[in-house]
Structures are given as C-alpha cells and as structure tokens.
C-alpha cells in the first residue's frame, strides 16, 4: 500500500515518532502513528478521525525499541551521541547494538559494507502481532542507494521482512526523499 510518512528519530535518547498517511480512497486517508519514548511503545490507527486500533504494552515497547536500533542507518550521528546504546563488534562487517526497553534488553545486528555504510539490519526475536498475541519472530532489513541528504550520508531505500517458516514476508518498503536536522 502506498503511503507518505514523516519520522523523527532522537539522537541522544532511544525515541522516535513515525506518522504516516495511507490514501485508501479519494479524500479518505488512513492515519498511523508508530512511536517509542521513555520506555513505552505506541501504535495508533485512525480512519475518518475515528480510532481503529491502539496498542501499547511491553511487547510493543520491545518491538519499537528494536525498530529504533534497526533504523540507526538514518541517524548515524545517534550512533556516537546516544549513550543509551551498547555496542559489540561481531566480526569485520557486523555489530550488535542494544538498549533497554523497560526491564528487557533488546538488540539488533547492523551489517556494514566495505565503505562503512549500513546495508542491513536483523534480529532473532522481534515481537510480531499474530491476532491478539505477540510472537517473537526473526526479521531482517536491507538498505541501499546511499546518498548525502541534509549533509549526512544515509541510505535512501529500505525494506524490512519477517523471516517466517514458509519464507520471507516483506511488510515495509520505502524510499527516503528528504532529511532535515533539528538542532533544538
């Protein structure tokens, strides 16, 4: 489904807000807010100003914190400035980055190419909604088409997929069209 979104990623703390608009019919957008701050995750879906879904809780918080870690490719300055991130080198091309989501430790692996660009992210157990339960599920993301936007070299293309027993399921694919730095 096509969408337009704006995401704000914090640099000095583990926090983000993603607000998307999905045009499902002329003049009828579905609005989605996906966010994480102060150890709490939030997912809201609205149609015609009416709430369709609102999720919170520890599993969502863990999943949203993992999302922040996986999307550090779009905020490389946070890699150096965010003291809430724990780093561990796995090999010459992969690192693990971790943080706390409430009382849980969550982590993602970032894959680098020879130039040092982040080209992938992955993890073993991101909570995935299946009905009303959260199922820890392996996932992977890929990044590409790196370019300088807002004075920072970042990927302009990305996609994320669940690694399901029946095969990978891509659930998000996007192209970044702009970057603004907020120094406040």
Residue of 15, 17, 113 lying closest to 7 (CA atoms): 17
**Is residue 184 a part of any domain in this protein?**
no
Domain that holds residue 81: 4-175
Residues 116 and 123 sit within 8 Å (Cβ to Cβ): no
**Is residue 153 a part of any domain in this protein?**
yes
pLDDT tens per residue across span 25-48:
988 999 999 999 999 999 999 999
Could you identify the residue written with the tokens 């009905």? 131
pLDDT tens per residue across span 64-103:
999 999 999 999 999 999 999 999 999 999 999 999 998 8
Total domains in the chain come to: 1
**Is residue 48 a part of any domain in this protein?**
yes
**Single pTM value for the model:** 0.94
**Is residue 183 a part of any domain in this protein?**
no
**Is residue 32 a part of any domain in this protein?**
yes
């Amino acid at each position: 489904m096509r969408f337009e979104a704006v995401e704000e990623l914090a640099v000095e703390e583990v926090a983000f807000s993603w607000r998307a608009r999905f045009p499902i019919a002329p003049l009828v957008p579905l609005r989605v807010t996906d966010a994480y701050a102060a150890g709490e995750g939030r997912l809201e879906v609205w149609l015609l100003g009416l709430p369709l879904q609102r999720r919170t809780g520890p599993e969502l918080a863990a999943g949203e914190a993992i999302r922040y870690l996986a999307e550090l490719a779009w905020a490389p300055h946070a890699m150096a400035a965010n003291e809430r991130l724990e780093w561990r080198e796995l090999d010459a091309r992969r690192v693990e980055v971790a943080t706390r989501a409430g009382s849980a430790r969550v982590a993602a692996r970032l894959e680098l190419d020879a130039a040092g660009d982040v080209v992938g992210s992955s993890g073993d157990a991101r909570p995935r909604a299946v009905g009303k339960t959260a199922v820890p599920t392996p996932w992977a993301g890929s990044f590409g088409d790196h370019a300088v936007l807002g004075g920072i070299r970042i990927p302009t293309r990305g996609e994320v997929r669940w690694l399901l027993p029946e095969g990978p399921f891509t659930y998000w694919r996007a192209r970044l069209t702009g970057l603004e730095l907020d120094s406040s």
